[in-house]
Amino acid sequence: MPATTTTATATTSTAVPNYVLEGLPSEEELAAKCLELGLVIHQPHTYEITHPALSLRPFPMKADVLYQLYDRQLLWNEAINRTSRNFEFLRDSMKSTAESDRGFTGRLLSILEKVYMTTPVGAKAPVYQPLMLGILRTDYMSSVDPESGSHLSSAEVAAAVAAGTARQWKNIEINTISCSFAGISPLVQRFHAYLHKFREAFMNVGAAAAVEGTKAASYAAPSVVATSPRQRESAYVTDEKHNSGVQVSAALAEAVAAWRDAVPYSSFLRQYQQRTGVALKPIVLAVVQENELNTADQYKLLLELLETHGVLSLRRTLAQLHETMQLEHATLCGNEHDCSTETKEDLSEQLQPPFAVVDKKYVVAVAYFRSTYVPKDLPTETAWQTRERIEESNAVKCPSVPYHLMTFKKMQQLMSNVSEVLAPVSFDGDQQKAAALAEHFVPQYSLNEDEYARLATNRQRIDEGKVINDPEHWIADAVLRPERYVLKPQLEGGGNLIAGEPMQRMLRDVTSDDPVYKKIRREYILMRKIDYPVATGVFFQRNRIHVLERNACSEVGIFGVILSSDANGYIINQAAGSLVRTKPADVTDGGVVAGVAALDSVQIIS
């Protein structure tokens, strides 16, 4: 039945305590605030501009826990960089998946082998751009003791968070390509700050504080932990040290500067202008999807890049780039003037990758991929050819194919093996760093029988400690106890997870003579499900307020940026802000763009 307050109405099917809706603005004002902030997204099909789904109650989190996860992000950045640069390990780890999924994983692996592992004629080593930029996001959910029950009141969730530690936050996945909402996530913090100001005024807190000569709210110090939802919302304290909308753009700008220093930039520009009369302009090229819905998020980063750092950008699809992008080699040391900053001996040591020129006006310094993470982004042979040509160029890729492959669940499953992969491969033997990340792992299992027979790294232990060498054990357990597992494909993006009865049917009913049988075992990872707290959520979605009575759960993502030229040295290694997404707890998977989850923000508590 509808629940109402003096300011807002809500769509809900159950009775809701008054405090849940108390002090909320009207739906019209909420929509207006979204437009004023630029907190917008395109609707599917119609392409009309609207607001994304938003949580109206920020997610409480202890300051020390949040900052410990920021510290962990530096380790994630390092692990991704070092593992991805071990090209042989990367190729061998993905080989079985690539054989099953030739059309996508197989093509990416082919690019890896061609660009990074093949020495061209006349060269002494493979020719590629060693500078790699990563804009990463590590996603976590807080775990609770399943014996205590996961359905908690809002006050109980706040109390549990206040008593929690960083190790209770378990890693769901790490995204290395097209990490959405780095641009507009800080706007959600501003939206929640506005809600707090409205609530203050509505409850006359501000007026009372002014009379007493005191400040109504402090944004500089953590609040005291509340004992009720109403008290918990009496202050809104945000993270002031990290801002993804600023830091990601700064990393793109830093990558442009590093690229200028790493390639024969001045020589090439002179030669190109002498030949064509055109003075090329360096750009960040955003490679985007057809009919992109999340353009505001992208433009927030690209406009910050221009206005703060003076760097131009261009958004293009692969289809557009197929028509307008050429690879151009510099004619190095064509005369003594060209060699003024580099010696002939240095330049002759190795061939140089070509420059990527777009529209005959721009030279690509950084290729920033906001697409190519699902097969539909590469529907044609020309699309794949264009993707490969970008990788062959001397542009800094964000991500490079090696970084991209690290987002595949196979690589993340292998990294969860601390003693045989994470410590020796990802951290070059540093057991302390590996142990720190391992605190956030939940068990992940390969379903590929060949790997169990071939590699000790895939042996897993059951809860009683017995070593299991057969993936059928885990498959049988998932069929028997589906509530304990989730089946994860290699693909990135929301809507791909399989759980519950669909997972049971897939694992139980598909026979060995069915092609899907081998596909499951080569391409899917079985992961233990996280027991997470469930609370009441309040969403602003499609211009209406909706209440999810004890049916909301939240996921915290930590952004990271890394710029590196080898496995050990870093130009940038930073944590870069957070993203919170809250969704109905009874929905297995789903994203913000799909209209399932809502954007949220962290409310820091002490």
Domains and CATH numbers, the chain: 3-68+136-240+532-605 (3.30.470.20), 75-99+407-528 (3.30.1490.50), 245-405 (3.40.50.1760)
Predicted confidence (pLDDT) per residue in 133-146, tens digit: 999 999 999 998 76
Predicted confidence (pLDDT) per residue in 294-318, tens digit: 999 999 999 999 999 999 999 999 9
- The reported pLDDT for the residue numbered 111 is 99
- The reported pLDDT for the residue numbered 215 is 39
DSSP secondary structure letter of residue 167: G
Instruction: Out of 81-85, 96-100, 103-107, 345-349, pick the least confident.
Output: 345-349
Residue 107 pLDDT greater than 60, yes or no: yes
- The reported pLDDT for the residue numbered 241 is 87
DSSP secondary structure letter of residue 20: H
Q: Which residues are annotated as a binding site for Mg(2+)?
A: 492
- Tell me the pLDDT band of 223, cut-offs 50, 70 and 90: very low
Buried b vs exposed e over 356-388: b needs ≥16 C-beta within 10 Å? bbbeeebbbbbbbbbbbbeeebbeeeebbebbb
Asked whether 52 and 579 are in contact (CB, 8 A), the reply is no
Residue 557 pLDDT greater than 90, yes or no: yes
Instruction: Spell out where 299-353 has E strands.
Output: 312-316, 325-328
> Which DSSP string do the residues of 180-205 spell out, in sequence order?
TTTTTHHHHHHHHHHHHHHHHHHTTH
Which amino acid type is present at position 288? V
Asked whether 239 and 66 are in contact (CB, 8 A), the reply is yes
Q: How far is Cα 298 from Cα 334, in angstroms, rounded to an integer? A: 40
Q: How far is Cα 499 from Cα 485, in angstroms, rounded to an integer? A: 7
Q: How far is Cα 525 from Cα 119, in angstroms, rounded to an integer? A: 34
- The reported pLDDT for the residue numbered 454 is 52
- Nearest Cα neighbor of 576 from 181, 83, 79, 37 is 181
- Among 16-25, 167-176, 220-229, 339-348, top mean pLDDT goes to 167-176
Q: How far is Cα 271 from Cα 519, in angstroms, rounded to an integer? A: 51
Predicted confidence (pLDDT) per residue in 225-243, tens digit: 333 444 444 567 878 889 9
Residue 525 pLDDT greater than 70, yes or no: yes
Listed in sequence order, the residues at least 6 apart from 24 whose beta carbon sits closer than 8 Å to its beta carbon are 5, 7, 8, 30, 56, 195, 198, 199, 538, 545
Residue 423 pLDDT greater than 80, yes or no: yes
Please compute the mean of the pLDDT values over residues 242-269 and round it to a whole number: 98
- To the nearest 10 degrees (0 to 180), the angle between helices 471-480 and 500-509 is 130
Please compute the mean of the pLDDT values over residues 368-397 and round it to a whole number: 98
197 CB-contact burial (10 Å; exposed 0-12 / middle 13-18 / buried 19+): middle
- The reported pLDDT for the residue numbered 2 is 38
Q: Which residues are annotated as a binding site for substrate?
A: 298, 581
- Tell me the pLDDT band of 546, cut-offs 50, 70 and 90: very high
Please compute the mean of the pLDDT values over residues 479-502 and round it to a whole number: 85
- The reported pLDDT for the residue numbered 580 is 98
> Which DSSP string do the residues of 257-275 spell out, in sequence order?
HHHHHHTTHHHHHHHHHHH
**Beta strand 3-4 with 281-287: parallel, antiparallel or unpaired?**
unpaired
- The reported pLDDT for the residue numbered 345 is 46
DSSP secondary structure letter of residue 105: I
Residue 348 pLDDT greater than 80, yes or no: no
Q: What is the pTM of this model?
A: 0.90
Please compute the mean of the pLDDT values over residues 462-468 and round it to a whole number: 54
- Tell me the pLDDT band of 403, cut-offs 50, 70 and 90: very high
Q: How far is Cα 63 from Cα 239, in angstroms, rounded to an integer? A: 8
Q: Which residues are annotated as a binding site?
A: 298, 409, 492, 527-530, 555, 581, 583, 589
- The reported pLDDT for the residue numbered 10 is 54
The CA distances from residue 550 to 154, 255, 554, in Å, are: 8, 45, 12
Please compute the mean of the pLDDT values over residues 115-144 and round it to a whole number: 96
DSSP secondary structure letter of residue 112: I
Instruction: Out of 25-39, 168-182, 461-475, pick the least confident.
Output: 461-475
Residue 221 pLDDT greater than 50, yes or no: no
Residue with tokens 């009207």: 26
- To the nearest 10 degrees (0 to 180), the angle between helices 431-438 and 63-84 is 120
Residue with tokens 């391992």: 438
Instruction: Out of 39-43, 348-352, 430-434, 470-474, pick the least confident.
Output: 348-352
Listed in sequence order, the residues at least 6 apart from 357 whose beta carbon sits closer than 8 Å to its beta carbon are 272, 280, 325, 326, 327, 328, 363, 364
> Which DSSP string do the residues of 384-438 spell out, in sequence order?
HHHHHHHHHSSSEEET-HHHHHTTSHHHHHHHT-IIIIIIIIISTT-HHHHHHHH
Residue with tokens 């809502």: 598
Q: Which residues are annotated as a binding site for ATP?
A: 409, 527-530, 555, 583, 589
Q: How far is Cα 318 from Cα 298, in angstroms, rounded to an integer? A: 17
Please compute the mean of the pLDDT values over residues 590-597 and round it to a whole number: 85
Q: Is the dihedral of CA 538, 539, 543, 544 positive or negative?
A: negative
Please compute the mean of the pLDDT values over residues 218-222 and round it to a whole number: 30
- The reported pLDDT for the residue numbered 233 is 47
Buried b vs exposed e over 506-535: b needs ≥16 C-beta within 10 Å? bbeebeeeeeeebebbbbbbbbbbbbbbbb
